[in-house]
Structure 1
Amino acid sequence: MGVTAIFIDGAYLEKVLLHDHGRARIDFGRLVATMVEGDELLRAYYYHCLPYQSHPPTDEEKARYAARHRFFTALRHIPRFEVRLGKLAFRGVGKDGNPMFQQERVDLMLGVDMALLAGENRIAKMALLSGDSDFTPAVEAVKNEGVLTTLWHGSHAREVRPSAELLQVCDEGRELTAEIIQSVLRHP
């Protein structure tokens, strides 16, 4: 038993829910309770960005922004749940004519939060829901502080396959299986 912190890469979780679970709508409180695996929860951190808005924003952009803002506000009402927002930057138009966007600051905020909590001896365990190899150095730093690390991830399908390097550096790996998602579904 120990104190656990949960770190959720929101964009990655959205991909897992889309590609592995047919856009399942989940109860984030139940997901966190599952990920903490019976230990004491320090806090769950959720990292994402608000949608991009042009200047002036279109009606569609305004509606998408307002919906996402409501979602983040609802998450903030979950006990011990912290939402950390980066920025979504416009990166031009792709060859297919579609706009390209990139998250900024999200990975860095997540890695810094992990390292700070571990360095301050505030956690014994951490659970990371992501698939991004960019988190490998932060996980290594956390492990050097004696923190046990569990990577929660999607299937090994191309769209949500976790980085082999990240999976290897973590102490344990847990796939978000259909059974787990079924147990954390949001009920209207």
Structure 2
Amino acid sequence: MLTNAYIDGTNLYYGALRGTPHKWLDLRRMLELVFPNDEIRAIHYFTSVVRSVPTDPSAPSRQQAYIRALRTVPGLTVHLGVIRGRGSPREKMTDVALATRLIADASQRRFEQAIVVSNDADFVPAILSAKNEFEAVVAVLNPVLRGRTQSDLESAATYVRRLRRRHVAASQLPSLLHDAMGAIAKPADW
């Protein structure tokens, strides 16, 4: 099936990548491994720009390198939100942007199947809208390696698949990439 993917980058990071050596993830390769019989046409990756904190001052530069690397992947678009607030900063505009893009693409029949990569039940209304109003097939790829898929999300989706460690390990970008600005190197501590 012609497939578009909508990736909740924060949920993917905390569910499958944090604390692993596999953060230099090739999202297209990952999707092709999990959905081998489908044609991945467009990938929409939603994340927020991280801020430097005293415990991790190089986080923004690592993220910038990764975003540059992702932009070399054919058919992949990066959508950036922001992180706001003090004390407990909150990601802003990414979930709504993902839901809006999913519904807009469903309404324009831009896919035969959508994949939502998240375990966030906040996407249930958008998934149900795409399914019920536009008769879209909407799969959920749960990126949480440990734990269950949110039951509301599981009920809303046409079907659910789980991301596995083997998919992540086998889906790494080359350590060195190039774009119009020059070389992009995988961060040393990744």
Q: Per the shorter chain, which TM-score range?
A: 0.7 to 0.9
1:81 aligns with 2:70: no
* 2:139 partner letter: T
**Aligned partners of 2:16 and 2:144 also within 8 Å:** no
Look up the match of 1:111. 99
Q: CA deviation at 1:69?
A: 1.4
One-letter amino acid of the counterpart of residue 121, structure 1 = R
After superposition, give the CA deviation of every residue in 1:37-74 in whole Å (9 maximum; x if it has no partner): 332322101010111359xxx7x64x322221121111
Matched, 1:67 2:55: no
Asked if 1:136 is matched to 2:124, the reply is yes
TM-score (norm 2): 0.80
Task: Report the residue type matching 2:64 in the other structure.
Answer: H
Q: Percent of counterpart pairs with the same letter?
A: 20
Spell out structure 1 runs of 4+ moving beyond 6 A.
Answer: none
| Matched AA of 1:24 | H
What letter matches 1:183 in structure 2? A
Q: Deviations over 1:68-88 (max 9, x none)?
A: 112111101100000000110
What's the TM-score, normalizing by structure 1?
A: 0.81
Q: Distance in 1 between matches of 2:28 and 2:145?
A: 25
Distance across 2 between alignment mates of 1:112 and 1:85: 14
CA separation in 2, counterparts of 1:23 and 1:16? 14
- Larger fraction in helix: 1
Give the structure 1 partner of residue 20 of structure 2.
Answer: 22
Q: CA offset at residue 36 of structure 1? A: 4.4
Cα RMSD for the two superposed structures: 2.5
State the 1:165 CA deviation: 0.3
* C-alpha spacing 1:33/1:165, structure 2 compared with 1 (3 Å): same
Using the TM superposition, name which of 66-75 and 25-34 deviates more: 25-34
Query: Structure 2: which 5+ runs fail to align?
Result: 176-190
Q: How does 1:159-170 map to 2 (within 5 A)?
A: 161-170=148-157
> Quick check: 2:102–2:126 contact (8 Å CA) kept in 1?
yes
